[in-house]
Each structure stands twice: as C-alpha cells, then as structure tokens.
C-alpha cells in the first residue's frame, strides 16, 4: 500500500524561488554551468529511479534482509539490479572530482537526491552515500597516485567505499581505538584490528570495496592526536588500477540483526595484516575523516527528512480516504456513513506538524548543503571562510534536529493510521524502525548537541552563532519593506532574541561550572533547531508571497497558498515551544546532577 512520489514541486520551489540556486552556482566558476534547466533535469531523472527502482524493493528488502554466509553478504532481491542502474546513470560520481571521472556537481543537488533515496529505500541509500563520502575524503586528502588508482572505479560505481571508525570498546571516544598500522618496507602499512557497525562493509553490489580505516602506528601519540587514516581495499589493486586477483586479509566476521534498515549490511570487519595506504598525513586521520563525517551527518538529517516525507504521503492519502465519525460542525460527506478523518482537528494537527517540519527540514538541509558548496567552490576567500564557520555550526543541528523531527514525524504518521499504521502492509511501521537509527549513527544526537553547545558555542565564546545571526539579520533587513511578512519577521526576531539570551546564559553558567554545558546542550540544540526552522519558514513565506503576487512563475496559486498556511501553522503552533526550551536551559545543571549514582 505504501507508494512514494518524489516531492519535485516542493524541491523545485526551494531551489529556484527560495534559494535561487542557479544564481548561487553562477557566482562560482566550477559550478557556473549548472543552470536551472540542468538542475530540474537531474532531480527529475533521480525521481524516476527512486519511484521506479528503489521504492518497489523497499518493503521486500526489509522482509528479506541481508544474508550472511561464511564471510559473504548477499543483499535483498532487486538491490543489485537497482545499484547497477544507479551506477550506469552516473550517480556514483555526481559530485566527484572531474579530474578523475566525476561530474563535479554541487552538494545541493546530491542532497536532494539523497533525500529521495532515503525516502524510497533507506537501506539502499546507505550503500550509495558511503561511497560518496569515501570518494570525497580521498579526493581532498589522498595522494595523486591513490586518487588515480581508486577514484575512477569508485565514481563509476564498479567499486564502493566505506568508513571504519567504531571498535567494540570505542564508539564516540575514538582516541581509544586499538587497530594498529605497522609500516612495511614498500611504503604501505599492515593493518590489524576489528571494526564494528560498518555500514556496507561487505556486500555483493560491487566487485571491490574500499575501506577507509582509522588506525594507530605503534609509536603514535596517545588519544585522538595519534590516529591516522588508511585506504584498505578488500581485493588488492595494482598500480595500473586493475584488480590483481589477490585477497587482502579483509574479512566480514558477521552482520548485525537490527531493528531497522535490514537491507543494509551492518558488519563486523576483521583486518589481519591487511595492506593499507596512508591517506593524508600521519596522526591527522581524525581531521581528514571529518571531511567525510560532515557530509555523512548531513545525509543522516536527509534520512530523517526523507522518511518523514514518505510517511506524510501515506498518512495524508489515508486521512482523505478513511471515514470515521463526523466533523464537529456537521457532516461533510453527507452521502457517506461518516466523514474522512482529515476533518478532525487532531488529525490535522499531526499532518500539519509533519508537513511543517518536513518543509523546514528540507530547507535547512539545502541551506547547509549550500554552505558546503560555497566552502568548496567559491572563489572568494572570505566567502569560503564564512561558509566553513556556518557549516561548523549548522551540521550538528541539522543532523540532530532533522532526525529527531523525522522520527517524530514517522510516529505521528503511524498514529494517523491507527491500527493500520502498526501493521506491515502500509509501510509505516518500517519507516519508524528505519528512521530510529538516524538519531544514533554518525554521532548520536546527544553528542551532536554537546558538540554544538561545547565546542561550537562555549569554546568559541559564541562567535560562530554571531555569523548565523548576521545571516538572519541580513535577510530580515531585505524584507523590511514587505508588510505582509512583518508578523513572521517579529516571530523570528523574538525567537532569535531567546536564542541569544540562552547563549549568554550558557556562556555565563559554563564559566563557573563545566557541567552546565552538558546539562543545557540538548535543549540548546533544540532551541537553535527551532530558530533555524523559523528562519527557513520566513524564507519560504517570503518566496511564496512574492510568487502569489507575480502569478506568472508556473506555480499553482493553491499550492502557494498551502505553503503560506503551513507556515502560519508553524509560527502559531510549533514555534511557542521555544519558551519551554529557554526555561529548561535556565534551570541549569543542579536538578540533573542532584541524585547520587546509587539513587538511579
């Protein structure tokens, strides 16, 4: 019963009317040829793949799962064919380095494609984004020789990539890793250790798998400063970029049995003196890997958005068809025994909450992706530096807030269907299970909140926040003459002031008690997320109202009016939660730390 349709109209409106993407790309020489027509053609073609190839094998992939046998992993039926189509269409190298066969497209476009993939089939999407992240890391940090040997096949989708960080005893605290790298006489390294929770660590989709592995040399400094990054292929590759036919002592020990994303192989990987090659400088591996991590964390927020949108589509269709009870003001469908449940205010509350958060979450993800593109492509040093500052601030919020709202949206959509949402037929119980992981992997949301409050706010003395606030102020100033928008401007201004006040409170409290950072961190992240969603809605509303006045841009007036009314709902019903978050931050650490360990 689940049927996904790519939200092309919403995406195109955000691209062209809200963010003027083609103008942003035109200002950067490396993306100047990415026109509005090309943008539309790319995302429309991606929509065909998601609707025609990925969505049809989503539920069957969940039911079948991955199969493990003596170190080999078989993906669900239909995955291999879909991956071959994905590779043949050039999608594996969409954002890749043009010098090695990539297409050099901006992250903004691939972000929207990732959202579609996650919405249609989250398990399948994971195989593709790991390769994208791995190739990005290699393109930015590997030697020219390694790039020439590995990138072309990875961009072609013939080989795929992973990242191997976590170990049985070391999750977030990567300074504790035990995987060792011993120098060999030929300049390579022998990698030995065990990594767990490795997405796409083993599968049957590509002929080779290229692992990016964090490890330490025997004499490396203690802690995170001693970590290096290595490229370790499953099958050895010659200097000519061809497979030698020799295995590389890389073996999958088992796969995890999970709550969701069952079509994605989550592997225990064993490296036994496997040949590896240094990527970047010794003892700088964690910094190099974070090139990939920022993009992967953006992807997790996109997973939340995508599954929320997929769930909304099912719930909205159901609410217009399912009849139960009568509308409060009297029968609407008088020729039927009852009215469609969409007449009931609580059903509308749930649907509008999902819709408002999906649109804002997609816009925030696009805004963050634009900063990544600016940091990568813009010719002006100052613009690149500002974008890098915004990325540092935005990514932990986008990852955590979009995945929290995404999971919440999947649960709300399930609730709209009642008992039908709890059974497998409609697909929503799978979406709930699949969405849950996005709050956990690539750095659990609590860690994202701590990173935001601690490293990005307290440690910078609030300087990164000022960069964001200046962006908000600049946009608000641009709308100063727009009388129709002033109510929304006032709402954003109030929320922004609350965020600034909470930041001042946090900085002051943390100076006296370091526990205040962790105590405030999650509420602070949510407050910043809510403020950013409000900022996104102001931009959407400004574009919607302008489009309604023009009446000549191809957008249906009813569609635009729907955007405006959804934005009004966000401001009236969701934004007031900011006051409770401020109160939570102001409560401080004392109520959290008062109980002794024994009292838990």
182 DSSP β-pair partners:
190
C-alpha distances out from residue 521 to 296, 393, 397, 454, 552, Å? 22, 14, 11, 8, 46
- 382 contacts 369 by C-beta, under 8 angstroms: no
Q: Is 591 exposed, middle or buried (0-12, 13-18, 19+ CB in 10 A)?
A: exposed
Choose among 89, 117, 84: nearest CA to 204: 84
Q: From the candidates 17, 22, 167, 442, which is the catalytic residue? A: 442
C-alpha distances out from residue 66 to 62, 198, 549, Å? 9, 14, 52
**Residue 353: alpha-carbon gap to chain centroid:** 20
Residues 6+ apart with CB under 8 A from 285: 214, 215, 227, 228, 229, 230, 279
**Residue 343: alpha-carbon gap to chain centroid:** 34
Choose among 268, 271, 264, 269: nearest CA to 249: 271
Distance separating alpha carbons of residues 476 and 368, to the nearest angstrom: 19
- 192 contacts 272 by C-beta, under 8 angstroms: yes
**Which tokens hold the place of 318?**
């159901």
145 catalytic per annotation: no
Active site residues: 442
């Amino acid at each position: 019963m689940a049927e996904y349709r790519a939200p092309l109209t919403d995406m195109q409106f955000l691209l062209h009317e809200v963010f003027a993407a083609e103008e942003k790309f035109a200002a950067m020489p490396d993306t100047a040829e990415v026109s509005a027509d090309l943008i539309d053609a790319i995302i429309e073609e991606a929509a065909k793949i998601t609707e025609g190839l990925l969505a049809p094998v989503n539920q069957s992939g969940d039911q079948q799962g991955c199969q493990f046998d003596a170190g080999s992993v078989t993906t669900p039926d239909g995955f291999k064919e879909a991956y071959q189509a994905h590779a043949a269409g050039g999608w594996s190298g969409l954002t890749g380095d043009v010098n090695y066969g990539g297409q050099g497209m901006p992250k903004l476009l691939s972000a929207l494609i990732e959202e579609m993939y996650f919405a249609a089939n989250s398990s399948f999407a994971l195989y593709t984004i790991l390769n994208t992240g791995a190739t990005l890391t290699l393109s930015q940090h590997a030697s020219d020789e390694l790039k020439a040997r590995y990138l072309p096949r990875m961009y072609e989708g013939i080989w795929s990539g992973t990242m191997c960080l976590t170990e049985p005893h070391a999750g977030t605290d990567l300074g504790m890793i035990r995987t060792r790298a011993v120098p060999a006489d030929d300049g390579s390294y022998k990698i030995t250790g065990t990594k767990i929770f490795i997405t796409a660590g083993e599968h049957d989709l590509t002929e080779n798998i290229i692992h990016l592995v964090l490890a330490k040399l025997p004499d490396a400094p203690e802690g995170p400063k001693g970590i290096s990054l290595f490229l370790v292929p499953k099958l050895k590759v010659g200097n000519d970029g061809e497979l030698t036919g020799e295995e590389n002592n890389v073996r999958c020990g088992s796969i995890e049995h999970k709550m969701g994303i069952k079509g994605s192989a989550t592997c225990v990987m064993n490296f036994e003196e496997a040949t590896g090659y240094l990527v970047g400088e010794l003892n700088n591996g964690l910094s190099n890997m974070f090139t990939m991590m920022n993009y992967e964390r953006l992807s997790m927020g996109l997973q939340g958005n995508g599954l929320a949108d997929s769930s909304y589509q099912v719930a909205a269709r159901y609410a217009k068809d399912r009849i139960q009870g009568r509308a409060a003001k009297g029968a609407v469908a008088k020729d039927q025994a009852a009215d469609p449940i969409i007449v009931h205010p609580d059903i509308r509350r749930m649907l509008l909450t999902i819709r408002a958060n999906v649109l804002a979450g997609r816009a925030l993800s696009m805004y963050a992706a634009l900063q990544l593109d600016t940091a990568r492509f813009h010719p002006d040093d100052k613009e690149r530096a500002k974008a890098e500052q915004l990325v540092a601030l935005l990514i932990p919020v986008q990852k955590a807030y979009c995945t929290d709202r995404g999971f919440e949206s999947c649960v709300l959509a399930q609730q709209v269907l009642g008992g039908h949402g709890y059974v497998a037929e409609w697909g929503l119980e799978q979406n709930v299970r699949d969405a849950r992981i996005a709050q956990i992997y690539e750095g659990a949301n609590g860690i994202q909140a701590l990173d935001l409050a601690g490293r990005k706010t307290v440690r910078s003395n609030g300087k990164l926040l000022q960069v964001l606030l200046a962006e908000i102020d600049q946009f608000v100033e641009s709308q100063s003459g727009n009388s129709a928008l002033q109510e929304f401007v006032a709402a954003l201004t109030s929320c922004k002031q609350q965020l600034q006040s909470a930041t001042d409170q946090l900085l002051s409290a943390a100076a006296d008690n370091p526990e205040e950072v962790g105590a405030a961190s999650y509420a602070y992240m949510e407050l910043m997320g809510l403020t950013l969603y409000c900022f996104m809605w102001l931009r959407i509303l400004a574009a919607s109202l302008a489009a309604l006045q023009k009446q000549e841009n191809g957008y249906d007036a009813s569609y635009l009016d729907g955007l405006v009314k959804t934005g009004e709902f966000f401001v009236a019903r969701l934004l007031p939660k900011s006051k409770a978050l401020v109160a939570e931050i102001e409560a401080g650490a004392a109520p959290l730390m008062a109980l002794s360990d024994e009292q838990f």
